[in-house]
């Protein structure tokens, strides 16, 4: 080290205490991951099993507006039905155990001036939640998981003349698309899915493009809350000038990011939700569903073991091993209650 003359900046040993042990870490609260707003977690006892999917035609089958086939005249034998049963199918889930982890030497742990183990446990919990988001988004945006009538290129929907990012007040392409999907969900669930249970899930990229369209700009301008939109006072979507609800459904902006580069390589970051797709789905009730109960949440995470943090003192090798265990499977469990839009923007 080169000899220097004393000054205010070199007459003491710099250490962490000088900043009151400040730690800069971009830690996202696990409860604030967008997946919690459109996906339901169902606890299960086994890692694999079956869930029952019922069709819904029989509950709404009315063959005659006069209900003639249901009439039971006094004194006559009951008009015994030919069948009257509903069809069903068994589908399988298979939870896999995912475990992001870390290892650290005892000397590193002992000499760190902050709680380095707790911080890395938090990092791995966030990594596990990001991984869970990837599973759910993959299941929800795979067109092959849907009936052909529940997914469509935007421009193939009747009345829609262009993509969402160029929609105008006159064309109303965004509104027409959402209305088409809501009607399809109601048709195929016999209106069991209420509009207030529906979510429109979009990427922040698409949200930004939508907010600049004439259709959305004019809607915001005509709103009595226009000034609040500009000031960013109306909910989590205010940064994109999008209301919390759009055409009757809650808007969820899925902005979760993933790092796709190896450690040490050039940093590569991308959004998990596709930028050109949008998902209309159902998420009734709370975040956690009931095992064995009826459910029509579109996207379900079956969880046999959920976000368990563990630490192992490896005394033989003088190190600490830490991990978060998440044993889950993500399924598009009720595709009839969802609609996948594709090709939403250029």
**In order along the chain (346 residues), what is the average pLDDT of each group of 10 residues?**
70 62 63 92 94 90 91 93 90 96 94 91 94 97 96 96 95 96 95 92 96 88 69 70 88 96 94 98 78 77 93 95 96 95 95
Residue 266 is classified by DSSP as P
Asked if residue 181 belongs to a domain, the reply is yes
Q: How many separate domains does the chain show?
A: 1
From residue 215, how far is each of 113, 154, 232 by CA, in Å? 54, 16, 19
Structure-token pair, residue 293: 């109960």
Asked if residue 42 belongs to a domain, the reply is yes
Asked if residue 244 belongs to a domain, the reply is yes
- pTM strictly above 0.85: yes
Count of residues in the chain? 346
At 204, which CATH number?
A: 3.90.1690.10
Beta strands in the chain (DSSP E): 39-43, 48-54, 88-94, 96-98, 101-105, 151-153, 198-203, 245-246, 249-254, 257-259, 269-271, 278-282, 299-314, 319-332, 339-342
Give the per-residue pLDDT at 278: 98
Beta strands 339-342 and 151-153 are: parallel
Check: CB of residue 300 under 8 Å from CB of residue 289: yes
Q: Which long-range contacts (CB under 8 A, 24 or more apart) does 307-314 make?
A: 307/30, 307/125, 307/128, 307/129, 309/121, 309/124, 309/125, 311/117, 311/121, 314/103
Asked if residue 87 belongs to a domain, the reply is no
Give the per-residue pLDDT at 31: 84
Asked if residue 238 belongs to a domain, the reply is yes
Asked if residue 59 belongs to a domain, the reply is no
Angle between helices 214-221 and 173-189 (to 10 degrees): 90
Asked if residue 262 belongs to a domain, the reply is yes
Give the per-residue pLDDT at 18: 57
Give the per-residue pLDDT at 27: 58
Give the per-residue pLDDT at 13: 61
What percent of the residues of the chain are helix, what percent strand, and what percent coil, each to the nearest 5? Answer: 30, 25, 45
Asked if residue 77 belongs to a domain, the reply is no
- Which residue segment(s) compose the domain that 196 sits in? 16-48+97-342
- State the Cα–Cα distance between residues 209 and 41, nearest whole angstrom: 31
- Other beta carbons within 10 Å of 236: 15
Give the per-residue pLDDT at 91: 94
DSSP string for 64-94: -TT-GGG---TTSPP---S-----EEEEEEE
Structure-token pair, residue 154: 């935007």
């Amino acid at each position: 080290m080169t000899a220097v003359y004393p000054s205010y900046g070199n007459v003491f040993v710099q250490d962490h205490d000088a900043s009151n042990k400040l730690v800069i870490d971009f830690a996202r609260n696990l409860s604030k991951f967008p997946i919690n707003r459109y996906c339901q977690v169902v606890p299960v006892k086994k890692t694999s099993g079956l869930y029952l999917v019922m069709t819904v035609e029989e509950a709404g089958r009315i063959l005659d507006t006069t209900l003639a086939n249901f009439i039971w005249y006094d004194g006559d034998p009951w008009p015994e039905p030919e069948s009257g049963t509903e069809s069903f199918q068994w589908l399988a889930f298979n939870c896999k155990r995912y475990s992001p982890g870390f290892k650290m030497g005892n000397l590193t742990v002992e000499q760190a001036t902050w709680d380095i183990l707790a911080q890395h446990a938090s990092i791995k919990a966030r990594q596990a939640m990001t991984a869970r988001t990837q599973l759910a988004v993959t299941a929800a945006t795979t067109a092959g998981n849907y009936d052909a009538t529940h997914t469509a290129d935007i421009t193939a929907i009747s009345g829609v003349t262009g993509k969402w990012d160029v929609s105008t007040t006159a064309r109303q392409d965004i509104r027409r698309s959402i209305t088409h999907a809501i009607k399809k969900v109601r048709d195929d669930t016999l209106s069991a899915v209420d509009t207030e249970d529906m979510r429109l899930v979009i990427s922040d990229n698409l949200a930004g493009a939508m907010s600049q369209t004439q259709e959305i700009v004019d809607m915001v301008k005509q709103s009595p809350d226009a000034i609040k939109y500009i000031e960013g006072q109306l909910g989590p979507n205010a940064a994109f000038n999008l209301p919390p609800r759009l055409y009757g459904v809650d808007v969820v902006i899925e902005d979760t990011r993933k790092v796709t580069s190896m450690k040490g390589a050039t940093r590569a970051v991308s959004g998990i939700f596709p930028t050109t797709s949008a998902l209309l789905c159902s998420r009734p009730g709370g975040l956690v569903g009931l095992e064995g109960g009826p459910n029509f949440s579109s996207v379900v995470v079956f969880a046999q073991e959920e976000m368990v943090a563990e630490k192992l003192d490896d005394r033989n090798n003088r190190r600490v091993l830490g991990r978060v265990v998440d044993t889950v499977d993500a399924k598009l469990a009720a595709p009839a209650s969802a609609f996948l839009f594709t090709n939403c923007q250029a």
